Amino acid sequence: MRASFIHIADTHLGYEQYGVRERFNDFSRAFWDITNEAVKRRVDFVVIAGDLFNKRAIDALTLIHAIEGLKKLKDHSIPVIAIEGNHDRSYYREGTSWLQFLCYQGYITLLAPAMRDGSPVLGAWQPRLAQALEAARMDEEAEGIEYRLLMMHTGVEGIVPRIHGLPSMNQFQPLRLHIDYLALGHVHKPYEFEGWMYNPGSPETCGAEEAAWEDRGYYFVEIDTNNPDSVVDPNKPARCHRASRLICKRRPFIRHELRVDGLNEPDALYVRLEDYCRREGPRHQHEEIRPLVQVNLIGTLNFDAGSLDLPRMEEMLRNYFQPLYVRVDNNTNDQDYIPEGGDIDGRDRSVWHELERRIFEELVSRDNRYLPTKEAWGIVLASLKEMALRKDDPADIAQFLREKRAELLGA
């Protein structure tokens, strides 16, 4: 058996990022780029591993855009098989999703979970799923089935630390015997394992953190069960397919972290930002597609954040990058700390160091060993923090602590 298919996930059609209309169109364009590619490559089918839409309640234009891509596939007799994702699934008690509508209209085949009394029938998924696949094996073989693809809108724990509660790699392993290609979605960072687990990532950039994962896109997969050598990449583990990850067209997304530590006035920060603009801006000014630019201010400010002129900074970025959209986010430290009953106002940054020292002092004084020398320990802790922020050698930091211990505890 020879076949080829395209695997996509997390297209998030209908997402009007930052409230910018053109971003809505970008998500559709990325999807159309892939459906055009599917036609060009004459694949036998397309699989969508969830989150075709950004949300359950899409508007008419989103539906029109989805159909525009799907109709092209239908006109070329390329079947589309989809599952729902966490973003586009209907509420189980609320009936019909837009994916079900697309299914009734003949644009996609929707693989839906079994329902009983209005609720999905769920079991402990791993063992049961592997057992069910095992049980079906005989029948499948009698029917001449040579290749098995499983779609799941979930990912492997630990790929993106922020996303918790996903199955571990070990929990996926029982499926390995029964599946040739596991088409995953959900995690927007692309990854693949052991020649059978594949996650293409999000074709467009749904959040600034995704900008770093430049190799996101979709998979083009060629299968040959009779003569695997004709397709298999000798440098990659795979049984009888070759999965190539392709990057689709999308808008450039430029993200920069600007450290503010050690800057004593807003002008110093503007100078640092302008240095960055001079360095990076010219590379993007003549880009065919105007980029998105997001600058993240991080670190501890030595002055009141209220005196930062964010519009001025955005204007500077606009001049150098000619972007579609720009934003500067102030994520500098703890802006609103107000101590209980203290005479220091935490909203005033100029007193932060004094405030910090007092908090350290209070914390160490809860331990009687440190109580007699709490003032000195407050200063030691503040110094340790400074050294860590400066990224001093850990050995030096440890040595400093040892010396202070000896000095203050006589140990």
Which window, 43-51, 162-170, 242-250, 402-410, contacts Mn ion (CB under 5 A)?
43-51
Closest CB to Mn ion among residues 10, 356: 10
Which window, 13-21, 47-55, 157-165, 338-346, contacts Mn ion (CB under 5 A)?
47-55
CA separation for the pair 203, 187 (Å, rounded): 12
Quick one: which of 10, 26, 37, 84 contacts Mn ion (CB under 5 A)? 10
Which window, 19-27, 44-52, 76-84, 95-103, contacts Mn ion (CB under 5 A)?
44-52
CA separation for the pair 403, 397 (Å, rounded): 10
Q: How far is the CB of 98 from Mn ion (least distance, A)?
A: 16
Closest CB to Mn ion among residues 4, 154: 154
Which window, 9-17, 112-120, 154-162, 251-259, contacts Mn ion (CB under 5 A)?
9-17
Q: How far is the CB of 179 from Mn ion (least distance, A)?
A: 22
Say if strands 325-330 and 292-298 run parallel, antiparallel, or are unpaired: parallel
- 26 within 8 A of 250, measured Cβ to Cβ: yes
- 330 within 8 A of 308, measured Cβ to Cβ: yes
CA separation for the pair 226, 239 (Å, rounded): 11
Which window, 50-58, 59-67, 340-348, 403-411, contacts Mn ion (CB under 5 A)?
50-58
Closest CB to Mn ion among residues 55, 259: 55
In this structure, the chain runs to a length of 411
CA separation for the pair 44, 325 (Å, rounded): 39
- 130 within 8 A of 152, measured Cβ to Cβ: no
Q: How far is the CB of 122 from Mn ion (least distance, A)?
A: 20
Q: How far is the CB of 401 from Mn ion (least distance, A)?
A: 45
CA separation for the pair 292, 290 (Å, rounded): 7
Q: How far is the CB of 381 from Mn ion (least distance, A)?
A: 42
CA separation for the pair 27, 23 (Å, rounded): 7
Per CB under 5 A, which of residues 147..186 are in contact with Mn ion?
Answer: none
Q: How far is the CB of 88 from Mn ion (least distance, A)?
A: 9
Which window, 8-16, 54-62, 209-217, 269-277, contacts Mn ion (CB under 5 A)?
8-16
Name every residue whose Cβ is closer than 8 Å to that of residue 311 and which is 6 or more positions away in sequence.
Answer: none
Closest CB to Mn ion among residues 83, 277: 83
CA separation for the pair 292, 255 (Å, rounded): 8
CA separation for the pair 81, 265 (Å, rounded): 57
Closest CB to Mn ion among residues 186, 349: 186
Q: How far is the CB of 160 from Mn ion (least distance, A)?
A: 11
Using the rule CB under 5 A, is 210 a contact of Mn ion? no
CA separation for the pair 40, 90 (Å, rounded): 33
* Angle subtended by helix axes 374-389 and 352-364, to nearest 10: 120
Using the rule CB under 5 A, is 88 a contact of Mn ion? no
Q: How far is the CB of 148 from Mn ion (least distance, A)?
A: 24
Closest CB to Mn ion among residues 10, 157: 10
Using the rule CB under 5 A, is 51 a contact of Mn ion? yes
Closest CB to Mn ion among residues 10, 180: 10
Q: How many residues bind Mn ion (CB under 5 A)?
A: 2
| DSSP secondary structure letters along 106-139 | TS-EE----EETTEE----HHHHHHHHHHHHHHH
Helix (H, G, I), strand (E, B) or coil at 257: strand
Which window, 5-13, 28-36, 96-104, 388-396, contacts Mn ion (CB under 5 A)?
5-13
- 400 within 8 A of 382, measured Cβ to Cβ: no
Site for Mn ion, rule CB under 5 A: 10, 51
